[in-house]
Structure 1
Amino acid sequence: MYESYYGFSERPFQLSPDQRFFFATSHHQRALSYLQYGLDQGEGFIVITGPIGTGKTTIARNLLANIADEKIVAVQLVTTKLTPDELLELIAAEFKITVTGNSKADLLQSIERFLISLNKQGKRALLLVDEAQNLPAETIEELRMLSNFQLNNKPLIQSFLLGQEELKAIISAPDMEQFRQRIIASAHLKPLNSEEVKNYINHRLTQANCNIEALFTDEAFQLIFEKTLGVPRKINIFVDRLLLFGFLEELEHIDCKAINEVANEMSIELTGSLTNNSLSDDNSHQPLVVNSTENVENMKNVLREVEELLEGSIQQKVKMTRYIDKLLKQKNREYAELQSQTTNND
């Protein structure tokens, strides 16, 4: 919607991971280096962890998109809340392995035959497991068992695990010692610092062919960092909303006033919350006492919030209506000018 107004070739802050917009901070570059090192070694596990929204999936897709080695057959798993048997079934499905029989032994034998056939072709399998913090410990152990498939003392499959911080706790458990000994490298992603936030935003604007000089003021970059805490996904959500706001308000530049106004709007919405506040509290399961003064006051607060949400929604619709009206008037003028030129030519 705002792309044509600001002259973008596409939306620069989409949520879907896109390797074309990948921006490598020092931490992201280190993680990529570890992944590449793991590829070169062809064995063991590489583990990448980090908070929600710091770019783990983007790194995985960037790696897959840039694998030039035709000898590597790679698949990525994104549904990971699986039992060991379900994991094996999903691996077989992703590698398009034909399974003969219905038992787990049949499944394992089919996977092993496939891996051996790859090896005979001079190829090897690479498994990227995203959201690995959802894997039960016994399923992670199943991954370790798969790494035991070898031929001529060379592993037939290699796994990269990418997950949130909870994955570190799972792997650190006492009964995971054998798995830890198979990890050849690990990295932990961090949110961006203030300078990286500025570079990140400018990088994505450049990728979208932005030709507006200083679309954001220097103070704006610092404030965006403070509002998003440097988390890339939050930056995408927030800056996308800022550009929509700038389009509706016909702003040529985004300043701190616009940022604070949008942040206030988003603070009472469900759209990509910029805060880490939980929607529930310790009293969420207590019975409701209708005649409680506290509950009556809570109801009033809820009604006020609903009123503010409705008012904000109405304001956005009014802005949108104004813009559509403006577009229609512009199109009518262009049509009238075209008709006038046609008449003059006749």
Structure 2
Amino acid sequence: MYQQFFGLNELPFTLTPNTHYFLNLPTHQEALNLILVALENGDGFVKIVGEVGTGKTLLCRKVLNALDEDCISAYIPNPYLSADGFRMAFARELGLELDTLKGSFDLLERINQRLVELVAEGKRVVLIVDEAQAMPEKTIEALRLLTNLETETTKLFQVVLFGQPELDELLGQSSLRQLLQRITFSYRLRHLDLEGTGQYLHHRLTLAGYNGVPLFEAKAVKKLWQASSGTPRLINILAHKALMVAYGKGDRRVSAAQVVTAVEDTEGVVLQSSAKPRLWLAGLAMLAVGLSAGLVLGGLL
């Protein structure tokens, strides 16, 4: 691969959500700060929404790593579960043994008892749900009912939901309005702008061991931004492929043309900004041909 060629210790643009590569860009740092402050203040529900590939799972893991020692985290990465399945997943995250479980009522009793014990020990329980837009409606209602568990003075646990924009549509249903009203803070992750895309590339390359002149030419960065719409996952895919193209040609820097090659090799990605210029150039060529033909005919007559 191109690691040694470019002086890298590791591949900088993998799709694995590695918190080592977390970049404090405004949108992600604002979201992280909001979550941590809300949890510190004891707010019950926080919702983070972002399009596919905007870094929700990476942010989710960053939150898990940032929690204090007095926090007990319950992480459910795939919530496409039945109501009982969701409660059982939560119970396992709390360390409960469910081999002798006697039904749904027994499950709720055990969860409640465990939460009370943890609060008595001075612990805070945080339930983090990734891909929350996949939760069936009955499962979301089960989550709402779980949040009814409380002492006279405090909630027994807090909830952070991460999801795609479909989560807002799901929670907007009339049948789920009670849960929607419990969300105290929400945030929508934004795509990276051109400057942020450049910072993102530089940050990941530096952490991967690169030390030299900017590896991506300015025009290449702009092409990456245009093609990816500032979506980190797409930036990773295109940057990785562009580096492969540059390596194959023996080039020490990535050009705009090599980014275009990467775009053409990636399904679902189109350089929208390049469509009009190409049509304009095609029209200009046709006009030139027409003028030339007219001049030739004029000379023959």
1:304 aligned residue: none
Q: Which residue of 1 aligns with 2:156?
A: 156
Alignment correspondent of 1:108: 108
Partner of 1:211: 211
Q: Which residue of 2 aligns with 1:231?
A: 231
Instruction: Identify unmatched segments of 5+ residues in structure 2.
Output: 272-301
For residues 41-80 of structure 1, the aligned pairs below 5 Å read 41-67=41-67, 69-80=68-79
Q: Quick one: which amino acid aligns to residue 200 of structure 2?
A: Y
Secondary structure of the structure 2 residue equivalent to 1:155: coil
Query: What's 2:289 paired with?
Result: none
Matches for 1:136-215 after TM superposition, within 5 Å: 136-215=136-215
Partner of 1:84: 83
- What are the equivalent positions in structure 2 for 1:234-245 lying under 5 Å apart? 234-245=234-245
Between stretches 91-100 and 177-186, larger displacement belongs to 91-100
Count, aligned residues: 270
Equivalents in 1 of 2:265, 2:136: separation in Å?
39
What residue is the counterpart of 2:93 in the other structure?
94
TM-score of the two chains, using structure 1 as the length reference: 0.75
For residue 247 of structure 1, report the CA deviation from its aligned partner: 1.7
Cα root mean square deviation, aligned? 1.5
What code does the residue aligned with 1:274 have?
V
Identity value in percent: 33
- Unaligned 5+ segments in structure 1 are 268-272, 277-346
1:245 Cα deviation (Å)? 1.8
1:156 match: secondary structure: coil
Question: 1:283-340 deviations in whole A, cap 9, x for unaligned?
Answer: xxxxxxxxxxxxxxxxxxxxxxxxxxxxxxxxxxxxxxxxxxxxxxxxxxxxxxxxxx
Query: How big is the shift at 1:193?
Result: 1.1
Letter in 1 for 2:92: A
Query: Aligned residue for 2:29?
Result: 29
Structure 1 CA distance for aligned equivalents of residues 138 and 30 of structure 2: 29
* CA apart distance, 1:32: 1.0
Distance in 2 between residues matched to 1:39 and 1:220, nearest whole Å: 41
Query: Where does residue 257 of structure 1 map in the other structure?
Result: 257
Q: Which amino acid aligns with 1:227?
A: A
Q: Check whether the contact 2:263–2:270 (CA below 8 A) recurs between aligned residues.
A: no
Aligned partners of 1:48 and 1:189 also within 8 Å: yes
* Corresponding residue SS for 1:114: helix
Q: 2: distance between equivalents of 1:147 and 1:167?
A: 18
Shift of 1:274: 2.4
Q: Which amino acid aligns with 2:269?
A: L
**How far off is 1:275 after superposition?**
5.0
Contact map agreement 2:264 2:270 (CA 8 A) in 1: no
Aligned partner letter, 2:152: N
Structure 1 position 134, deviation (Å): 0.3
The SS at the match of 1:257 is helix
Deviation string, structure 1 residues 84-135 (Cα, Å, up to 9, x no partner): 1110011112222123433100111111111111111110211100000000
Q: Under a length normalisation based on structure 2, what TM-score does the superposition of the two structures give?
A: 0.86
TM superposition shift of 1:36 = 0.9
- Counterpart secondary structure, 2:265: helix
Preserved CA contact (<8 Å) 1:43 1:157: no
Partner SS state of residue 110, structure 2:
helix
Shift of 1:220: 0.9
